[in-house]
């Protein structure tokens, strides 16, 4: 009989704590931690392993309290590593990633125990903030809006030429045999995610779309013309259904002004667009296939898998051939990944996912951060992982104050 995920996770956690975790087991634990979203269950797993091990302390001769204290000290120094040099990062990258994920679990457990002066210091919290969740607003052609967070699974709309089904965190358009028309015109819908929400969509042609927080897509309910055209804002990941006869075109728009920032043309491919208004650059990253990325002045570049087009207003379009694909796709895969990111870059992502306002007081560190944090952690847990000697946080309702 094969082990359950819980049994396997418990075994791997024990291996890590006792120092017997192999590299392959460490990789497996990372995967299990990323797919396990039940915080209470994770706490229980860790506590069970600690209890079982303490019950056999005479046999194992392991000082668990001392071990936990050492893990806590490790987490304080390298759980969310401040990157000072490329050489330093390469030397400690594996340890930094690993200790962070396990360290957060240990921290959850430590909050329930009394370790006196060894307990990690608390971030001042007036009210903790839960992580973002699945949810979106669907706006129909006639202006009617549907809040999908509370909508039941099943058929949302079933009228002539238009059929929309909802299943948990996604909606899907059933391919129509003929155009959906309103007064002789193609019907358009808009799917938008507020801050603190994410959602998925399957277009009528079978194209799959993932929306990060504070993003939107405007699209026809069926595709009939020679080109399949959609408009997006924020951050969106596409897996485009192949159709050589009908190129798929994405217009990248500014949320505030509605002006066009760029344009992506594809036949069938997987790519991510990051085009938030509060980010200086629009980044289009190709994972599979081929796309043509262009900016308003007509300048363009053809991207191959692993390439990233960087569009910045007033500067030439540039292409990076070695972007950090894990960082790009982290949001879709359920975690944050920071790679030499400054504190303001980090906090912009946190602000969108937790729907909070960020305020800076005093001189803020110029250090850079690297590491992983699960997106299902509470805000205080995320900030605890980020907190270093030169940056501190204070949560006041829906505001996070960042201080030296």
pTM of this prediction?
Answer: 0.73
Q: How confident is the model at residue 20 (pLDDT cuts 50, 70, 90)?
A: low
Q: Is the pLDDT of residue 108 over 70?
A: no
Q: Is the pLDDT of residue 124 over 80?
A: no
pLDDT in tens, 42-91: 555 555 555 555 454 444 444 444 544 444 443 333 334 444 433 333 33
Q: How confident is the model at residue 324 (pLDDT cuts 50, 70, 90)?
A: very high
Average pLDDT over residues 307-331: 92
Give me the chain's average pLDDT, please.
77
Average pLDDT over residues 120-148: 86
Domains in the chain, CATH or no CATH each: 5-75+92-112 (no CATH), 133-327 (2.60.120.1440)
Q: Is the pLDDT of residue 220 over 50?
A: yes
Of 20, 21, 19, residue with least CA distance to 30: 21
Query: Dihedral (C-alpha) 345, 346, 348, 350: value to the nearest 10 degrees?
Result: 170
Average pLDDT over residues 252-266: 87
Q: Which residues contact 23 (CB under 8 A, 6 or more apart)?
A: none
Of 273, 227, 228, 229, residue with least CA distance to 254: 273
Q: Which residues contact 280 (CB under 8 A, 6 or more apart)?
A: 312
Higher pLDDT, 161 or 65: 161
Q: How big is the CA angle at 180 (ends 194 and 292), to the nearest 5 degrees?
A: 60
Q: Is the pLDDT of residue 241 over 80?
A: yes
Average pLDDT over residues 370-394: 82
Q: How confident is the model at residue 151 (pLDDT cuts 50, 70, 90)?
A: very high
Predicted local distance difference test score (pLDDT) of residue 224: 82
Q: List 291's β-bridge partners, or say none.
A: 266, 303
Q: List 165's β-bridge partners, or say none.
A: 155, 172
Distance CA 52, CA 369 (A): 36
Least confident of 23-37, 290-304, 311-325, 336-350: 23-37
Q: How confident is the model at residue 29 (pLDDT cuts 50, 70, 90)?
A: low
Predicted local distance difference test score (pLDDT) of residue 76: 38
Give the H or E element holding residue 76: helix 64-78
Predicted local distance difference test score (pLDDT) of residue 123: 73
Average pLDDT over residues 300-325: 92
Distance CA 156, CA 146 (A): 9
398 token code pair: 């829906």
What is the percent of the chain where pLDDT is above 70?
67
Average pLDDT over residues 345-363: 96
Predicted local distance difference test score (pLDDT) of residue 160: 73
Distance CA 262, CA 247 (A): 16
Average pLDDT over residues 1-15: 62
Q: How confident is the model at residue 268 (pLDDT cuts 50, 70, 90)?
A: confident
Distance CA 273, CA 233 (A): 9
Predicted local distance difference test score (pLDDT) of residue 312: 85
b/e per residue, 21-42, with b = 16+ CB within 10 A? Answer: beeeebebbbebbbebeebeeb
Are the CB atoms for 120 and 110 separated by under 8 Å? yes
């Amino acid at each position: 009989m094969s082990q359950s995920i819980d049994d396997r996770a418990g075994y791997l956690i024990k291996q890590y704590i006792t120092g017997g975790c192999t590299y392959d087991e460490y990789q497996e634990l990372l995967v299990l931690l990323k797919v396990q979203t039940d915080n209470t269950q994770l706490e229980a797993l860790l506590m069970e392993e600690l209890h079982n091990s303490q019950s056999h302390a005479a046999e194992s001769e392991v000082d668990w309290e001392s071990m936990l204290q050492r893990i806590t000290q490790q987490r304080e120094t390298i759980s969310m590593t401040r990157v000072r040099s490329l050489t330093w990062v390469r030397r400690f990258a594996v340890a930094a990633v690993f200790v962070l994920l396990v360290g957060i679990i240990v921290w959850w457990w430590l909050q329930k125990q009394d370790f006196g002066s060894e307990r990690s210091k608390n971030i001042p919290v007036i009210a903790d903030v839960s992580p973002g969740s699945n949810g979106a607003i669907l706006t129909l052609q006639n202006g009617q809006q549907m809040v999908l967070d509370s909508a039941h699974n099943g058929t949302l709309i079933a009228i002539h030429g238009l059929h929309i089904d909802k299943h948990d965190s996604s909606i899907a358009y059933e391919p129509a045999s003929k155009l959906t028309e309103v007064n002789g015109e193609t019907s358009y819908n808009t799917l938008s995610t507020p801050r603190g929400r994410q959602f998925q969509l399957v277009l009528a042609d079978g194209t799959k779309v993932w929306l990060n927080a504070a993003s939107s897509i405007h699209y026809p309910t069926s595709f009939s013309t020679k080109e399949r055209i959609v408009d997006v804002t924020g951050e969106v990941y596409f897996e485009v259904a192949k159709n050589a006869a009908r190129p798929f075109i994405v217009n990248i728009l500014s949320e505030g002004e509605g002006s066009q920032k760029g344009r992506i043309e594809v036949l069938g491919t997987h790519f991510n667009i990051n085009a938030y208004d509060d980010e200086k650059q629009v980044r289009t990253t190709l994972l599979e296939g081929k796309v043509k990325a262009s900016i308003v002045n007509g300048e363009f570049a053809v991207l191959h898998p692993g390439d990233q087009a960087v569009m910045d207003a007033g500067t030439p379009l540039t292409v990076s051939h070695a972007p950090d694909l894990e960082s790009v796709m982290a949001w879709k895969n359920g975690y944050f990944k920071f790679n030499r990111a400054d504190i303001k870059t980090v906090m912009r992502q946190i602000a969108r996912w937790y729907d909070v306002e960020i305020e800076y007081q005093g001189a803020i560190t110029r250090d850079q951060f690297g590491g992983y944090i699960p997106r299902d952690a509470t805000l205080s847990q995320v900030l605890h992982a980020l907190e270093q000697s030169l940056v501190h946080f204070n949560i006041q309702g829906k505001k996070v104050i960042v201080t030296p």
